[in-house]
Amino acid sequence: MNRNDQILMTEKFVRENMKGYDSGHDWWHIERVRNLALFINKMEELADPFIVEITALLHDTADSKFAAVSNEQGYTAIDDFLDECELSEIKEQVLTVIKNVSFSSVDKTGNPYDHLLWVIQDADRLDAIGAIGIARAFNYGGFRNNKIFNPEVMNFDEVSAENQLSGTASTISHFYEKLLLLKYRMNTLTAKKLATERHEFLEIFLKQFYNEWNFALGKNL
């Protein structure tokens, strides 16, 4: 099987596997991450572009937040799929990245595939900030039926797991839990540069949001 066929087969596998996901995790998220990852990799020359492309395509297919199956079942499906595509030799590299790409896995270091992880992680994180990141966050919040904003929870340093469980979390609180931190977590210089403008846009958005909230509700947030 040639590389072009392997890419086409992977696209098909990903489309089928992500059918039940929220629309912030739709095919266009994958397409953006693929292109951002290839761009970052071209600038930084960190990994084999073919492996970058395959990994970017597969990076969200085993996410148990959306998939009907557990993460483990998702990994097994990817493992089997890569065998089917005659890509067994890159399986370990690809799966290591998929298992570690998420925000909660930032501190995993010391594995030999770091460079591939850096590129995919940066591309995925860039898509979570800026105007697209904001759109995705509110979309996800709607998918979970979360509040847009909860002025009773303003201590954002302590937001997170507890508030998620008690249902007081809001999409605005997600900015403080995650989105505003991403700029500082970029691995590559190329992504750091791209993150600057997107991060500023998050801040502009929040400022305007609070202005409008204060004006309408007479509260000084």
Q: Using the rule CB under 5 A, which residue among 17, 124, 153, 183 binds Ni ion?
A: 124
Contact partner at residue 130 from Ni ion, ligand ADP, none, CB < 5 to 8 Å by partner kind: none
Q: Using the rule CB under 6 A, which residue among 52, 56, 97, 128 binds ligand ADP?
A: 128
Taking the complex as a whole, the smallest distance from the CB of residue 106 to Ni ion amounts, in Å, to: 15
Which range binds Ni ion by CB under 5 A, 52-60, 85-93, 112-120, 187-195? 52-60
The helix (H) or strand (E) run that includes residue 52 is helix 49-58
The Cβ of residue 24 has, within 10 Å, a number of other Cβ atoms equal to: 21
Taking the complex as a whole, the smallest distance from the CB of residue 33 to Ni ion amounts, in Å, to: 6
Contact partner at residue 213 from Ni ion, ligand ADP, none, CB < 5 to 8 Å by partner kind: none
Question: Six-digit token pair at 42?
Answer: 């071209």
Q: Which is nearer to Ni ion, 53 or 124 (CB)?
A: 124
Contact partner at residue 114 from Ni ion, ligand ADP, none, CB < 5 to 8 Å by partner kind: none
Closest alpha carbon to 175 in 150, 156, 192, 198: 156
171 binds ligand ADP (CB under 6 A): yes
Q: Using the rule CB under 6 A, which residue among 10, 13, 14, 24 binds ligand ADP?
A: 24
150 binds ligand ADP (CB under 6 A): no
Report d(CA 124, CA 70) in Å as an integer. Answer: 21
Closest alpha carbon to 19 in 78, 69, 79: 69
Report d(CA 121, CA 185) in Å as an integer. Answer: 9
Q: 3-state DSSP helix/strand/coil percent for the chain, to nearest 5?
A: 70, 0, 30
Q: Using the rule CB under 6 A, which residue among 119, 141, 149, 198 binds ligand ADP?
A: 141
Which range binds Ni ion by CB under 5 A, 4-12, 121-129, 174-182, 212-220? 121-129
130 binds ligand ADP (CB under 6 A): no
Report 173-192 residues binding ligand ADP (CB under 6 A): 174, 178-179
Closest alpha carbon to 97 in 82, 86, 84: 82
Question: Six-digit token pair at 86?
Answer: 């005659």
Q: What is the sign, positive or negative, of the torsion defined by CA atoms of 93, 96, 101, 107? A: negative
Task: Phi first, then psi: give them for residue 168, nearest 5 degrees.
Answer: -90, -5
Task: Phi first, then psi: give them for residue 65, nearest 5 degrees.
Answer: -65, -25
Q: Which residues bind ligand ADP (CB under 6 A)?
A: 24, 63, 102-103, 124, 128, 133, 136-137, 140-141, 146, 171, 174, 178-179
Q: Which residues bind Ni ion (CB under 5 A)?
A: 60, 124
